[in-house]
């Protein structure tokens, strides 16, 4: 079967393409931005790529077109698919039909932490010899790829609440029908597709309704919004997690930064975790992953040992380099809660050292100013906040920046780099937060710092 994927260079659709190739299908695809590393990764698998969405890519008609959710009516290739009556479906529908049909599905949902938790859970199962399949919205460093079919009946998937396609406005995760479900948290996000928090809760309720009665739902204690979803109806056993508070699964911190902690289940201490990650949010992610792994037969002692060998996902507090004693970190944080947790984790790691927080408001929700009232509080741990100000930002950043330490905005990446080169000294930390490429600021900054006198 020949499958053609529209929007193939996104992490999710790229993962779909990789797995389709592993299943033995002929795969081609297109995107409006075909560039490394995704393009080279796909081409190395024998996938032919087209740049742009011209109908010319259909000279050889595929058996099935898989359409990414970034495309809609009016795009030339979409009009061609519809007018020519080509068979088509969404990415999540393809995954459900061709990949998950006979699998035990372990899904990770929530506003924050999905990618990290999915990666942790995949690694625990791999460490235990279960060779799971997985589809992650990032690249777990333990695996080096974002997706694979696996060699067992278990499949771990990052379950996104974003909409499925222009013709299917349900959340992606409604398609997956998980046997084991982790819900990390639930906050308002994606203001471009959800009117309010209630609209997101409704989708999570639909997700809960798809979990079978012999499955398991795992979620944090004292997460009011998830409690509200569960209160609407749950037909599946539930287990709760907590850090430092009595719960079904509980973490006892040994180190305040979360690098070392005990895991307890039903009041019994199971073992000590020592790992490379920091931050209480990652401790929460780890407990949920251990609970999910136990549900499919992994002993907690095995899971705890696996955590010690876990290597974080790229772009999650990733140290990009250190030049002249100045450390440059990259993080995917783009929602105030994620920003706050990331900064808290770095602060616990570096103590009194200076932190420069460089932030790009790139998501649609952030550009609309939905979270402008809470952004200052999220940035409170930084010694200086440098905010990139894109042309299409719809709100005035000055009032927010007046509430944070040394808050300034800049109109270009070159200006940000020049400023940091001027003020940063050995022992400083630069934390760059964006859910996009940010004009390659990380490498450009590291290159620029090479030329700064020590």
- pLDDT tens-place string over residues 236-255: 999 999 999 999 999 999 98
Domain-located, residue 43: yes
H/E segment holding residue 90: strand 88-90
Contact 53, 72 (CB under 8 A): no
> CA torsion, points 187, 190, 191, 195, in degrees to nearest 10?
-70
Domain that holds residue 279: 100-308
* pLDDT given for residue 191 in this prediction: 62
Whether the predicted model's global pTM rises above the 0.85 cut: no
Looking at the structure, do residues 127 and 273 belong to the same domain, yes or no?
A: yes
Report how far residue 210's alpha carbon sits from residue 195's, in angstroms, rounded to the nearest whole number: 23
What is the percent of the chain with per-residue pLDDT over 90, rounded to a whole number?
Answer: 60
Our measurement of the distance from residue 360's CA atom to the centroid of its chain's CA atoms, rounded to an integer in Å, reads 17
Looking at the structure, do residues 127 and 256 belong to the same domain, yes or no?
A: yes
- Alpha-carbon dihedral sign for residues 197, 201, 204, 210: negative
Domain-located, residue 19: yes
CATH number at residue 158: 3.40.1190.10
Averaged pLDDT, 109-121 = 91
| Kind of pairing between the strands at 104-109 and 48-51 | unpaired
Report how far residue 120's alpha carbon sits from residue 341's, in angstroms, rounded to the nearest whole number: 18
| Kind of pairing between the strands at 429-433 and 355-359 | parallel
Quote the strand ranges of 288-388, DSSP E: 318-323, 326-331, 355-359, 384-388
What six digits make up the tokens of 406? 């040394």
Report how far residue 9's alpha carbon sits from residue 29's, in angstroms, rounded to the nearest whole number: 9
Looking at the structure, do residues 109 and 85 belong to the same domain, yes or no?
A: no
Average pLDDT, the chain: 90
**pLDDT tens digits for range 34-51:** 766 677 888 888 999 999
Contact 410, 437 (CB under 8 A): no
Domain-located, residue 81: yes
Domain boundary among 52, 72, 90: 90
Residue with tokens 């080279």: 40
Domain-located, residue 179: yes
176 φ, ψ (degrees, to nearest 5): -85, -25
What six digits make up the tokens of 300? 């907690």
Domain boundary among 90, 121, 150: 90
Q: Enumerate residues 6+ apart whose C-beta is below 8 A from 144.
A: none
Domain-located, residue 95: no
Peptide bond connecting 37 to the previous residue in cis, omega within 30 degrees of 0: yes
**pLDDT tens digits for range 350-406:** 889 999 999 888 877 777 777 777 888 889 899 999 988 888 777 888 888 888 888
* pLDDT given for residue 453 in this prediction: 58
Looking at the structure, do residues 286 and 336 belong to the same domain, yes or no?
A: no
Report how far residue 168's alpha carbon sits from residue 175's, in angstroms, rounded to the nearest whole number: 11
Looking at the structure, do residues 112 and 83 belong to the same domain, yes or no?
A: no
Domain-located, residue 40: yes
Q: What is the DSSP letter of 313?
A: B
CATH number at residue 55: 3.40.50.720
Report how far residue 432's alpha carbon sits from residue 386's, in angstroms, rounded to the nearest whole number: 9
Looking at the structure, do residues 238 and 104 belong to the same domain, yes or no?
A: yes
Looking at the structure, do residues 156 and 270 belong to the same domain, yes or no?
A: yes
- CA-closest candidate to residue 86, choices 117, 121, 60: 60
Looking at the structure, do residues 435 and 351 belong to the same domain, yes or no?
A: yes
Looking at the structure, do residues 51 and 30 belong to the same domain, yes or no?
A: yes
Structural domain count of the chain: 3
Domain boundary among 254, 289, 308: 308
Residue with tokens 């790139």: 362
Domain-located, residue 304: yes
- CA-closest candidate to residue 180, choices 155, 144, 143: 155
Domain-located, residue 173: yes
CATH number at residue 331: 3.90.190.20
Looking at the structure, do residues 176 and 295 belong to the same domain, yes or no?
A: yes
Report how far residue 316's alpha carbon sits from residue 181's, in angstroms, rounded to the nearest whole number: 22
Looking at the structure, do residues 82 and 134 belong to the same domain, yes or no?
A: no
pLDDT of 454 > 60? The answer is no
Looking at the structure, do residues 267 and 376 belong to the same domain, yes or no?
A: no
């Amino acid at each position: 079967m020949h499958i053609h994927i529209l929007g193939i260079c996104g992490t999710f659709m790229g993962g779909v393409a990789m797995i389709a190739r592993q299943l033995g299908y002929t795969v081609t695809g297109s995107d409006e931005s075909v560039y490394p590393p995704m393009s080279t990764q796909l081409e190395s698998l024998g996938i032919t790529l087209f740049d742009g969405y011209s109908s010319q890519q259909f000279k050889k008609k595929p058996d099935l077109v898989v359409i990414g959710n970034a495309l809609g009516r009016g795009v030339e290739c979409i009009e061609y698919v519809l007018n020519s009556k080509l068979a088509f479906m969404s990415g999540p529908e393809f995954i459900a039909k061709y990949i998950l049909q006979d699998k035990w599905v372990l899904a990770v949902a929530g506003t924050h932490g999905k990618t990290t938790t999915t990666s942790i859970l995949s690694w625990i199962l791999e460490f235990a010899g279960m060779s799971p399949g997985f589809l992650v919205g990032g690249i777990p460093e333990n695996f080096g790829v974002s997706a694979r079919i696996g060699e067992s009946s278990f499949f771990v998937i990052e379950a996104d609440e974003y909409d499925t396609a222009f013709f299917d406005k349900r959340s992606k995760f409604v398609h997956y029908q998980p046997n084991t479900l982790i819900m990390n948290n639930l906050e308002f996000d994606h203001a471009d597709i959800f009117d309010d928090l209630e609209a997101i809760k409704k989708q999570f309720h639909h997700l809960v309704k798809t979990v079978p009665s012999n499955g398991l739902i795992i979620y944090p204690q004292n997460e009011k919004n998830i409690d509200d979803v569960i209160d609407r109806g749950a037909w599946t056993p539930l287990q709760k997690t907590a850090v430092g508070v009595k719960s079904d699964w509980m973490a006892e911190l040994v180190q305040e930064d979360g690098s070392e902690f005990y895991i307890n289940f039903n009041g019994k201490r199971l073992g000590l975790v020592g790992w490379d990650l920091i931050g209480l949010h990652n401790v929460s992610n780890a407990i949920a992953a251990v609970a999910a792994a136990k549900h499919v037969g992994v002993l907690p002692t095995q899971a705890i040992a696996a955590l010690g060998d876990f290597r974080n996902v790229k772009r999650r507090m990733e140290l990009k380099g250190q030049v002249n004693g100045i450390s440059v970190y990259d993080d995917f944080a783009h929602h105030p809660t994620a920003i706050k947790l990331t900064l808290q984790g770095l602060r616990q790691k570096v103590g009194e050292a200076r932190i420069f927080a460089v932030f790009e408001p790139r998501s649609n929700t952030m550009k609309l100013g939905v979270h402008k009232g809470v952004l200052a509080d999220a940035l409170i741990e930084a010694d200086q906040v440098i905010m990139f100000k894109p042309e299409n930002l719809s709100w005035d950043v000055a009032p927010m920046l007046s509430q944070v330490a040394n808050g300034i905005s800049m109109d270009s990446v070159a200006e940000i780099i020049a400023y940091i080169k001027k003020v940063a000294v050995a022992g400083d930390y630069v934390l760059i937060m964006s859910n996009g490429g940010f004009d390659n600021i990380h490498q450009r900054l590291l290159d620029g710092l090479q030329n700064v006198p020590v």
